[in-house]
Amino acid sequence: MPPHQPGAQRRHLTGPGLARAALSRICRYGWASDWGDNLFIGTVLEFGVLNGSYLKGFGEHFRWKPVFWGFDSFVGLPAEAEGQPRPLAWSPGSLSSVGSGPAASEDKHAAVARAVERVHASITEGFPERKVHLVPGMYSESLTPQLAARILRTSGPASFIDIDSDLYISARQALDWVFEHGLARVGTVIRYDDWWTLACATRNPRNRNYHRDAASIESYGGEPLAHEEVAHRHGVTFACACGPCDAESGGPMSRYFATGHVGFNPFFRVAKLSAPPGNTGFAANGTMVGRFLDRMPVCRNYRSRGSFALSSHSNTAHV
Ligand SMILES: C[S@@+](CC[C@H](N)C(=O)[O-])C[C@H]1O[C@@H](n2cnc3c(N)ncnc32)[C@H](O)[C@@H]1O
């Protein structure tokens, strides 16, 4: 999602601002020593660039030490996987960086090339030392083994991965690629921008059919479902690094979690690799999830908006 509403931002940091603030202030500290001063160097992968505002924000918060790789079709969202719910706002082609776009495919290529150039310039203008690579294309085509090998060879495995590509199918393709090709290592931190969006939207009166009591977070679909499937498929053990993914009973995080003062975006750390069956690191039960949905102020934003009416029809499997 694009940055949240200004009112919500005043009280709850979101996006890149939260990344640095959260990692330095509200995360558990034990794991930070794995990276030490290297936490913000290495490689950052941004899935979902649009006009580059988050990428630029992360760059500034990480003092432009890492090499940034941004992946986007630049022509908007693909179709969601068949049967998976999505808000009406996330229709195929929405969130395009090139506007409505020309019909002819040569023109489309040129429009994408111009968009990539514009976004790259807006991030690096006046600062040629910023290391930013933008990779255009739908993930089903652009995330190749060759590209993974190039990233590993030139900038190394990711220290930080931001998933802001909205859909289940996109998070699933991005994460499968990351874990299949060794782009994450123990200590890599993954932030999810829309972890809660679908679940929050079920509190919208238009979405009564999707409302469930005490349901697990992945049962709502979207990023949590992709995360769970990838953890099990690739044998990844994640740990909640910070944000609303931890419900340790009696610990300070559970208090924040329960009252919604821990921000909107969970950050997971890769704790172990190649240890099937894996673990999502999401420790909240359905009751805590429900409490978060009812109380979290950012979550309330999704309740009334018509564009967050959910649909699981008219998706095509082709992406
Ligand atoms: C919410 S926007 C990203 C916002 C961005 N992080 C920012 O700073 O404002 C989601 C982006 O993900 C891209 N996207 C989603 N799924 C994709 C896929 N499967 N392949 C390529 N791009 C995808 C869309 O084109 C869109 O630009």
pLDDT digits (tens, 9 = 90+) for 145-163: 999 999 999 999 998 899 9
Evaluate: CB of 197 within 6 angstroms of ligand 1: no
| pLDDT grade for 168, boundaries at 50, 70 and 90 | very high
Both structure tokens of 36: 């030490």
Evaluate: CB of 134 within 6 angstroms of ligand 1: no
Cβ contact 216:244 at 8 Å:
no
Evaluate: CB of 170 within 6 angstroms of ligand 1: yes
pLDDT of 209? 87
For residue 6, pLDDT beyond 50: no
Burial class (CB in 10 A: 0-12, 13-18, 19+), 286: middle
Q: Alpha helices of the chain — where are they, by DSSP H?
A: 6-11, 15-21, 53-61, 105-124, 139-142, 145-154, 168-180, 197-201, 222-234, 252-259, 286-295, 297-304
Evaluate: CB of 298 within 6 angstroms of ligand 1: no
Both structure tokens of 301: 């934003």
Cα angle 195-54-5, degrees, rounded to a multiple of 5: 65
Task: Give CATH for domain 6-308.
Answer: 3.40.50
Pocket test for ligand 1, best of 72, 194, 198 (most atoms within 8 A of CB): 72
CA–CA dist 47, 59 (Å, integer): 14
Tell me the mean pLDDT in the region 216-245: 93
Evaluate: CB of 165 within 6 angstroms of ligand 1: yes
189: β partners: 160, 269
% of the chain at pLDDT higher than 70:
78
For residue 138, pLDDT beyond 90: yes
Nearest residue to 159 (alpha-carbon basis) of 20, 29, 28, 41: 41
CA–CA dist 185, 188 (Å, integer): 6
Closest ligand 1 atom, CA of 1? 1
CA–CA dist 159, 186 (Å, integer): 9
| pLDDT grade for 102, boundaries at 50, 70 and 90 | low
Q: Which residues contact 316 (CB under 8 A, 6 or more apart)?
A: 79, 82
pLDDT of 294? 82
